[in-house]
A and B are shown apart, each in its own frame.
Chain A
Amino acid sequence: MGQLLILVASVTTGCKADSLGTEIDGERVPVIDMHLHTGEWDSVGFASQEFIAGNLPFPINLNPEKSGNQILAPEGIVDELDKAGVSRGVLLAVYAPRTVGVTTNEQVIDNVAQFPDRLWGLASVRVDRWNDDREPQLAALREALESPGIIGVKLAHPHMHFRMDDSAYYGIYEVAGELAKPVYLHTGTSPFPGTSPEPPYTDPRYLEDAIQSFPETIFILGHLGFDAANKRHAGLAACVDLASTYPNVYLEASALGSKNSDPTGEILREGFVAIREAGVVDRLIYGSDGPQSPGFVNDYLNRTLIALDSAGYDLNEQRAVLAGNFARVFGVEVPKL
């Protein structure tokens, strides 16, 4: 019994990488993971708690609250970064009380402050009472964006239930552009219960008006418009078209290449091929959507490296995707190894 427990513990905790960075063609290459979630189990809605617990592996699923709090804490996230050799991670604030829950800007600011050499953060904004409180919410966003280590904005229209083409929310892009803080947007459907799956909330083409209206604002289209509910590409062509057309559009391919969504790796490879063929590799930024479960951050990086290689990305292109493009867009330095 004791041996079994030790074995399980060893498998689930994995090993720390010898050093930061990942090896490609015999060279160490720095990695930034721009999509990591932090927070507390109690701030997630009941339906989403059930969904998350149902997707955790054994034996972690036996106590999802304890496991969730451990892995979502900044110490747990940095531990996952260490295991994957990722130099820097970006924590996302979330205000989606109807779906995935709330991780406040203050929590992200505090967590980033605990590991300022390893973590940055993206702030977000609460929109579920927008008719009543948009001005104070925008003021709160502005204040958060001026905090140390907060380098951009995170939005998720299907989780937060607002249309991508509704100009009532364009003040968010205005603030972000004014402060030179890129905006990361979830595109595509979501596997979480209670989200808005309709095209105006998920189809990246509905963002075109905002992208055109705010040329000084950087839009990072997360998940490549992936239809997570049905595990298939849906908005890939639209994302690539938007990146090809507008210089303020960037792309990110987190989550869609996970073992669960893409067992063979073909979905992620297909996305990378489309981006390379369109000549917009300089717009692709790496993110995992971790930590999810122990080892996920490392696993997603490995799956990404395989997909990049099979899609024909050379060393310089992989360097750009893994850290260089992020550093350029967010105005930070590429981590030194």
Chain B
Amino acid sequence: MNQHNTFGLAVGLLLATSCINNDVVLFETELVASVGYLQAFDQPATLHIEVHHAEFGGPVPHALGLIASFEVEGETRAPDSWRETILVPTEEGEGLVVYAWLDLDNDGVLCGLNGAGNEPVGLIKLAEFPSHNLEFELLLDGVCLGPERLYP
């Protein structure tokens, strides 16, 4: 292989394997939630929270697209509020949905086998998004359902 061919192959490989770096536009928003339950849970429990695009774009558009997930510990009872700042890649999707479930048995799994746990769940679509500060009430009035069953 001569030097010219080597160079050509290298350029070809570079073009084929490299990618064009697109700018990712991130929209900062602070979420301030109060959490409501249908009954009191006076026991240590962890609230698992997911923030999704309501509608996700790309080659195959679809409902829900996970942006961030985090947990809030309740040391003596179920958490009744939380605050979190997240960065939303606004060009990847539209709208904002917050889903949460309460881990009553602290096993990290929403409702075990045979529905064990009856763990409460809730979801809200934040109609005011985009906004840099969103205050809302998240009512956990369902049981054992994943976000796919609550939205759309």
Contacts and interface: CB of A to CB of B under 8 A. Distances in A.
Contact of A162 (B66, B112, B146): B146
B111 A45 contact: no
B109 A199 contact: yes
Contacts, number: 69
Nearest to A4: B1
A165 B148 CA distance: 14
A161 B60 contact: no
B64 A128 contact: yes
Contacts of A166: 145-146, 149
Instruction: Name the residue among A45, A194, A198 with the largest chain B CB count within 10 angstroms.
Output: A45
A199 B146 CA distance: 12
Contact of A1 (B5, B60, B110, B115): B5
B114 interface: yes
A43 B59 CA distance: 6
Contact of B109 (A4, A168, A194, A198): A198
B103 to A, nearest CB: 12
B10 to A, nearest CB: 12
A97 B114 contact: no
Given A1-B1, A98-B56, A131 B149 contact: yes
A52 to B, nearest CB: 13
Interface string A179-194: 0000000000000001
Contact of A168 (B1, B13, B149, B152): B149
B56 A198 contact: no
**Interface size range of chain B in the complex:** 20 to 34
Nearest to A199: B109
Contacts of A44: 59-60
B109 A45 contact: no
Interface string A136-155: 00000000000000000000
A130 B60 contact: no
Q: Which one of B16, B56, B58 has the greatest number of beta carbons of chain A within 10 Å?
A: B58
A167 to B, nearest CB: 10
Interface of A: 1, 4, 42-46, 61-63, 97-98, 101-102, 127-132, 161-163, 165-166, 168, 194, 196, 198-200, 205-206, 208-209
A176 to B, nearest CB: 21
Nearest to A165: B115
B77 interface: no
A171 to B, nearest CB: 14
A196 B5 CA distance: 46
6 contacts: A98-B62, A129-B63, A162-B146, A162-B149, A163-B146, A206-B113
A72 B110 CA distance: 37
B16 A63 contact: yes
B17 interface: yes
Contacts of A128: 62-64, 148
A96 to B, nearest CB: 9
B122 interface: no
Interface string B1-13: 1000100000011
Candidate in B12, B110, B148 with the most chain A CB atoms within 10 angstroms = B148
A97 B145 contact: no
B82 to A, nearest CB: 21
B120 interface: no
Contacts of B145: 166
Q: Which 4 A-B pairs have the closest CB atoms?
A: A97-B62, A97-B60, A62-B16, A161-B148
Interface string B52-72: 000010111111111000000
